[in-house]
Amino acid sequence: MTREYLVRGGKPLFGEVTISGAKNAAVAIIPAALMVDGVCRIENVPMISDVTLSLKILEELGASIRLLNAHTVEIDSRHIACTRTSYDLARKIRASYYLVGSLLGRFGQAEVAMPGGCNFGGVRPIDQHVKGFTAMGAKVTLESGFINAAAEGGRLHGANIYLDVVSVGATMNIMMAAALAEGTTVIENVAKEPHIVDLANFLNSMGADIRGAGTDSIKITGVPRLNGGSYAIIPDQIEAGTYMAAVAATGGELLIRNVIPKHMDCISAKLMEMGVEIEENGDEMLVRRSGKLQRTNIKTMPYPGFPTDMQPQIASVLALADGTSLITESVWNNRFKYVDELKRLGARIQVDGKMAVLEGVDHFTGAPVQAPDLRAGAALVIAALAAHGTTEISHVQYIERGYEDIVGKLRAVGGDICMVDEPEAEKEEARIG
Ligand code: EPU
At residue 431, the pLDDT reads: 45
| Angle, CA 123 vertex, CA 142 and CA 26 arms, to 5° | 85
| Angle, CA 234 vertex, CA 54 and CA 332 arms, to 5° | 65
Which letter does DSSP use for residue 276 in this model? -
Atom of ligand 1 nearest to the CA of 238: 41
| pLDDT tens-digit series, residues 8-34 | 999 999 999 999 999 999 999 999 999
Alpha-carbon span 177 to 157, nearest angstrom: 9
Encode 314-344: b = buried (16+ Cβ within 10 Å), e = exposed: bbbbbbbbeeebebebebbeebbbbbebbeb
Cα–ligand 1 centroid distance for 360 (angstroms): 29
Cα–ligand 1 centroid distance for 93 (angstroms): 13
Mean pLDDT of all residues in 375-391: 98
Counted residue by residue, the chain has a size of 433
3-state secondary structure of 170: helix
Cα–ligand 1 centroid distance for 130 (angstroms): 14
* Whether the Cβ atoms of residue 381 and residue 417 lie closer than 8 Å to each other: yes
- The predicted model scores a pTM of 0.96
At residue 232, the pLDDT reads: 98
Alpha-carbon span 417 to 415, nearest angstrom: 6
Whether residue 118 lies in the annotated active site? yes
What is the distance of C-alpha 216 from the center of its chain? 21
Selecting among 40, 82, 118, 418, the annotated active-site residue is 118
Alpha-carbon span 22 to 45, nearest angstrom: 8
| Residue-by-residue DSSP string for 48-102 | -HHHHHHHHHHHHHT-EEEEEETTEEEEE-TT---SB--HHHHTT-GGGGHHHHH
Alpha-carbon span 258 to 205, nearest angstrom: 22
Which of 97, 100, 124 for a ligand 1 pocket mutation test, highest count of atoms within 8 Å of Cβ? 124
Give the residue from 269, 274, 267 showing the smallest Cα distance to 289.
274
| pLDDT tens-digit series, residues 243-276 | 999 999 999 999 999 999 999 999 999 999 999 9
At residue 121, the pLDDT reads: 45
Alpha-carbon span 256 to 23, nearest angstrom: 17
At residue 433, the pLDDT reads: 54
Which of 49, 168, 233, 399 for a ligand 1 pocket mutation test, highest count of atoms within 8 Å of Cβ? 168
Mean of the per-residue pLDDT values of the chain: 94
Mean pLDDT of all residues in 210-235: 98
In the predicted structure, residue 179 carries a pLDDT above the cut 70: yes
At residue 6, the pLDDT reads: 98
Which of 20, 165, 176, 431 for a ligand 1 pocket mutation test, highest count of atoms within 8 Å of Cβ? 165
Cα–ligand 1 centroid distance for 310 (angstroms): 13
- What contacts 244, CB < 8 A, 6 or more positions away? 254, 256, 264, 267, 268, 271, 276, 278, 285, 287
Atom of ligand 1 nearest to the CA of 302: 38
In the predicted structure, residue 123 carries a pLDDT above the cut 80: no
CB-based pocket (< 6 A), ligand 1? 24, 27, 94-95, 118, 124-129, 165, 167-170, 191, 308-309, 331-332, 374-375, 402, 433
Higher pLDDT, 102 or 124: 102
Atom of ligand 1 nearest to the CA of 50: 32
Cα–ligand 1 centroid distance for 170 (angstroms): 9
In the predicted structure, residue 138 carries a pLDDT above the cut 80: yes
- What contacts 144, CB < 8 A, 6 or more positions away? none
At residue 432, the pLDDT reads: 38
* 3-state helix, strand and coil shares in percent for the chain, rounded to the nearest 5: 35, 30, 35
